[in-house]
Amino acid sequence: MTDAASATVRAYDLDAAAYAANAPAVPESVRAAVRGLVEELGAGARVLEVGSGGGRDAALLEEHGLRVRRTDVTPAFVQLLRAQGHEADVLDPLTDDLSSDEGPYDAVWANACLLHVARPDLPAVLTRLAALTRRGGLLRVAVKEGDGEGWSTHGSIRGPRHFTYWRPDALREVLVGAGWVDVSIVRVPGKGSEQWLEVVAVHG
């Protein structure tokens, strides 16, 4: 793990409870993505969630009949999820084994977490996630649009977190190179002038 990634994990670790307690309402774009997964995969499909955080998205996925494996690189988030009664694992998608005894997953859900992955490492992460997903399975990712990278201190996390920003063409190139096809990238407004890139792709 890079120094920037370690510092980001420490920032989340210190304020995980506050982050979870202050999670914003689920945006309509996220609800639509969940409905899309269910329509495409059917109830009972198995979803690997990378970056479960406080558990907001996993709860929504399960409400729609999907089976979710919760994972996060931040130990405090995993402790929170376990305190809620969920199984959860501390796992780094760049280095750890996220495979399942049940075989490949039907989908991977990585909402607003891979934006903390260093640019040179994202191809490896996306390739590893493709290897865990069945052919025809889906990937859902959201990152912030922009150029370069930087540190930010905002919201309920008091420590600085490191972000990598992406443009659609560069992100599409990395996804296709990692084995994902039928890549859809949609811009969604965030706070202020912030723009998110919401991705849905298929394991080819």
Tokens 């969920």 appear where?
86
Q: What is the pLDDT of residue 25?
A: 87
How far is Cα 80 from Cα 35, in angstroms, rounded to an integer? 26
pTM, to two decimals? 0.96
Instruction: Report how far residue 185's alpha carbon sits from residue 197's, in angstroms, rounded to the nearest whole number.
Output: 6
pLDDT, one tens digit per residue, over 146-191 is: 999 999 988 889 999 999 999 999 999 999 999 999 999 999 998 8
Domain 3-203: which CATH number of 3.40.50.150, 3.30.870.10, 3.40.50.300, 3.40.50.2000: 3.40.50.150
Q: What is the pLDDT of residue 2?
A: 87
| Structure tokens that stand for 179 in this block | 């084995």
The residues spanned by each domain of the chain are 3-203
Averaged pLDDT for residues 50-69: 97
